[in-house]
Structure 1
Amino acid sequence: MLSDDIEWRVSPSPIPYPEALAEMEARATAVRAGTARELVWLLEHPPLYTAGTSAVATDLIAPDRFPVYPAGRGGKYTYHGPGQRVGYLVLDLDKRGRDVRCFVHRLEAWLIGALAELGVEAWIADGRVGVWTAYRGQEAKIGAIGVRVRRWVTLHGFAVNVAPDLSHFGGIVPCGLPDYPVTSLAQLGKVADLKQFDDALQSGFESFLSGLTNA
């Protein structure tokens, strides 16, 4: 059961990135002030690229293909678009251990568990950010993680490829890793439905949250 202190929101249509960023940042400010509930926001964006704080200009191969936005999160360039489940987490770490490393590790485990529920074995690779799986005998990235913590409130979160147009990743070097492909649940022959992935996320959320609280 989801805590009454946390809003679980699913947006039915793509949200423009600047609009989502502004709303997320305002919510984080309100959470810190104690005037709003924490938030798990599941959404899609129109096709776009975001640049994290470690983005390298040469990793943007096609700068005119889609809009490019600075994100303020950690990491390099990533793609967002329809068919990809983006999750923005506005959670108060001040009451959950103040451990950013634990937060990221628990987030990784949460995504891996949701993918396992849908029949995909996934893992974390040493020296490479994100969530990985196997595709045609090679490691391929299926999920990206990029977070920011401001006054112990988290912003940004994750993006998991459910059924996006994978050719759209060709305009960047995804997360600065040119030697590895990206894949999706649909390409792996698993579900191509965002709701099924959302349900898998929700079923593992309390475990994710308790791992933070008990850290």
Structure 2
Amino acid sequence: MVTALLDTQVSYLGLRDYTDTWHEMRKLTTQRCPDSPDQVWIVQHPSVYTLGQSGKEEHILNPGDIPVIHSDRGGLVTWHGPGQIIAYPLLDLRRWGISVRELVHALEQAVISLLAIHEVASHRREGAPGVYVDGAKIAALGVRVKNGRCYHGVALNVSNDLEPFSRINPCGMKDMPTTRLYDHGVTPSLDRAEVELGIHLLAALEREAKH
């Protein structure tokens, strides 16, 4: 696990098309060999709705001119857009010695730890993966694992427009309120928030691997 942590490459990719990024993640995951280094990509996407493998069209209420992409990640429906930062861990879970459940726990814990640094209390919700502040969703997640290797990840609302969430049932949940870091008096630059998310994700993965 120590080698996996030290060898993990964190890349900050800026604003990237969702479909292009997804296809690149899938290609990397499919073609990697046992000694390929693990990676974490930190990105933002132009405005887009994504339907996970369990997603249903009826959860998209009024997409308007926002594209809808059918993705191979886990989960239901969510929105991505500028001002929301996303961490995509591209890991060999066997190298880390962690399960899918522990991966999900680490993704949630990365956000919880980041928010705690800014004195924002947050929590998990039983049966509804993600991170919540006062009952409102601030981070959504969905992953895919193939042959012990994962891609997709966790999306944290920082300064993005929340209006697009009103046009869907976020993660399939009717009338689910959403929130963002800026709504709680925390206004870090997006560059700083991206670095913090990467740091807290690696720390959370390390803790899970030590269990």
TM-score, normalising length: structure 2 = 0.91
CA contact (8 A) 1:117 1:200 kept: no
Q: Distance in 1 between matches of 2:205 and 2:51?
A: 28
Q: 1:204 to 1:22 in 2, by over 3 A?
A: same
CA RMSD of superposed structures (Å): 1.9
Residue 76 of structure 2 is matched in structure 1 by 76
Q: Does 2:128 align with 1:116?
A: no
Q: 1:170 to 1:69 in 2, by over 3 A?
A: same
SS at match of 2:139: strand
Q: 1:65 to 1:170 in 2, by over 3 A?
A: farther
Residue 22 of structure 2 is matched in structure 1 by 21
Q: Distance in 2 between matches of 1:206 and 1:168?
A: 30
SS at match of 2:160: coil
Q: Distance in 2 between matches of 1:201 and 1:93?
A: 20
2:10 partner amino acid = W
SS at match of 1:204: helix
Q: Distance in 1 between matches of 2:57 and 2:84?
A: 24
CA contact (8 A) 1:55 1:75 kept: yes
Q: Distance in 1 between matches of 2:58 and 2:154?
A: 23
1:57 partner amino acid = E
Unpaired runs of 5+ in structure 2? none
Q: 1:109-128 deviations in whole A, cap 9, x for unaligned?
A: 12100111122111101232
Q: Distance in 2 between matches of 1:16 and 1:167?
A: 20
Residue 6 of structure 1 is matched in structure 2 by 8
Residue 143 of structure 1 is matched in structure 2 by 139
Q: Distance in 1 between matches of 2:201 and 2:127?
A: 26
Q: 1:206 to 1:157 in 2, by over 3 A?
A: closer
Q: Distance in 1 between matches of 2:119 and 2:195?
A: 14
2:44 partner amino acid = E
1:45 partner amino acid = H
Task: Answer with 156-165 or 90-99: which moved more.
Answer: 90-99
Match of 1:161 among 153, 157, 160: 157
Q: Distance in 2 between matches of 1:54 and 1:197?
A: 30
Q: 1:129 Cα shift? A: 2.2
Q: 1:41-96 deviations in whole A, cap 9, x for unaligned?
A: 00000000000111122111124431111111111110000000011110111112
Q: Distance in 2 between matches of 1:199 and 1:15?
A: 17
Q: 1:10-66 deviations in whole A, cap 9, x for unaligned?
A: 013x211111011111121233x2363211000000000000111122111124431
Residue 173 of structure 2 is matched in structure 1 by 177
Q: 1:4 Cα shift? A: 4.2
Residue 40 of structure 1 is matched in structure 2 by 40
Q: Distance in 2 between matches of 1:70 and 1:57?
A: 10
CA contact (8 A) 1:53 1:72 kept: yes
1:175 partner amino acid = C
SS at match of 1:11: strand
Q: 1:121-156 deviations in whole A, cap 9, x for unaligned?
A: 11101232210002xxxx100000111111101110
Residue 194 of structure 1 is matched in structure 2 by 190
2:182 partner amino acid = A
List structure 1 segments (4+ residues) > 4 angstroms apart after TM superposition. Answer: none
CA contact (8 A) 1:141 1:181 kept: yes
Counting helix residues as a fraction of each chain, which structure ranks higher?
2
